[in-house]
Structure 1
Amino acid sequence: MLKYFYDNNLVRIEKQQPKDWRQALNQSTQSLIDANLVTKDYVNEIIQNVVSYGPYIVIQPGIVMPHALSTSPNVLGTGISFTKFNQPVYFDEGNYEKQGNLFFTLAAKDETQHLENIQKLMSLLMRDGVIESLQSINTEEDYIRIMNSLEQISTT
């Protein structure tokens, strides 16, 4: 999956820390917008969902999975992007449980593809050392090194 992000130009290693979670969601969605998988309004849907339902997109401390409904007219295709911020982004200020700096933004044209995306992502994140490795990267070169290292392990 790391190779998928890289090969599809869906990796962002952000140098500039967002001022808040809304800006982080805008930044993390940009790769999907650039790839014509979602429209700019998709991020507004995600933001509205967080405002309405709370930060349900924080799946564990450190990991954020922004997404909106697969039935959204603002979803043009299926994909997942990866964005890494240097510092945690808090969705509930001071609440360690509701923060993250690894953002995996999902877009899917239907419910089946949405569930497949989540399964692939969970399979990646459950591999030993993946989260820690992604937390440690600061550059695209670091990402490539981790990607190649993990891919080599999975083929042996």
Structure 2
Amino acid sequence: MLTKLIKASYIQLDIEASSFEEAIELAMSPLVIDEAVTTDYVDKVISILREIGPYIVITKNIAIPHAPSDSGAKKLAIGFTRLKNAIVSGNSANDPVKFLFSLSSPTGDDHLSALSELASLFSDEKFLAFIQDVKKPHDFIDFLENFERSIEND
């Protein structure tokens, strides 16, 4: 399913950010450009972050920027951003953040299987090593396609 939600244009490698908020804005920008989310959606992610803290940092080095569906999510999409330099988010258990998987989900339920697949990847040491060094967006997509095929064959 992930390969249906991610496009090469949603994948950004070695992006420079000076703050966690800027990293979120940069990670969400391909989804804004493709009209998967509105700028209001990005603003809501940051607003919630300021209000309740780094809720989107879900495991060591990884954040999933997202907001409620009614905040401007237009289509189901996932992006990937690798920061050039890891950045502190304020989540002491999982800092610093190096990888952001931006998420847009226009309904509350349609992202659950995508999140399930992502969770499987986050516990896969090969994937975690791969995202450290991936060179091209198409290599990232190829990895996901192989991962999905392996799930189907299990």
TM-score, length basis structure 1: 0.81
Q: CA deviation at 1:10?
A: 1.4
Q: In structure 1, what is the equivalent of residue 82 of structure 2?
A: 84
The one-letter amino acid of 1:71's match is D
Paired residues, number = 150
1:11 aligned onto 2:11: yes
Instruction: Give distance in 2, aligned partners of 1:121 and 1:46.
Output: 19
Instruction: Give distance in 2, aligned partners of 1:101 and 1:110.
Output: 28
Equivalent pair of 1:5/1:11 in contact (CA under 8 Å): no
Q: In structure 2, what is the equivalent of residue 111 of structure 1?
A: 108
Q: In structure 2, what is the equivalent of residue 127 of structure 1?
A: 124
Q: Check 1:108–1:3 CA distance in 2 against 1; reply closer, same or farther (3 A cut).
A: closer
Equivalent pair of 2:2/2:117 in contact (CA under 8 Å): no
The one-letter amino acid of 2:43's match is N
Structure 2: gaps spanning 5 or more residues: none
Q: Check 1:84–1:52 CA distance in 2 against 1; reply closer, same or farther (3 A cut).
A: same
Q: Check 1:129–1:38 CA distance in 2 against 1; reply closer, same or farther (3 A cut).
A: same
Equivalent pair of 2:6/2:78 in contact (CA under 8 Å): no
**Structure number with higher relative contact order (C-alpha < 8 Å, ≥ 6 residues apart):** 2
Pairs within 5 Å for 1:1-150: 3-4=3-4, 7=7, 9-15=9-15, 17-72=16-71, 74-92=72-90, 95=92, 97-137=94-134, 139-140=135-136, 143-145=137-139, 147-148=141-142
Instruction: Give distance in 1, aligned partners of 2:122 and 2:94.
Output: 17
Q: CA deviation at 1:12?
A: 1.0
Q: Considering only aligned residues, what root-mean-square deviation do their CA atoms show, in Å?
A: 2.5
The one-letter amino acid of 1:88's match is A
Q: Check 1:33–1:65 CA distance in 2 against 1; reply closer, same or farther (3 A cut).
A: same
Q: CA deviation at 1:77?
A: 1.3
Q: CA deviation at 1:150?
A: 6.2
Which aligned runs of 4 or more in structure 1 are off by greater than 6 angstroms? none
Identity of aligned residues (%): 23
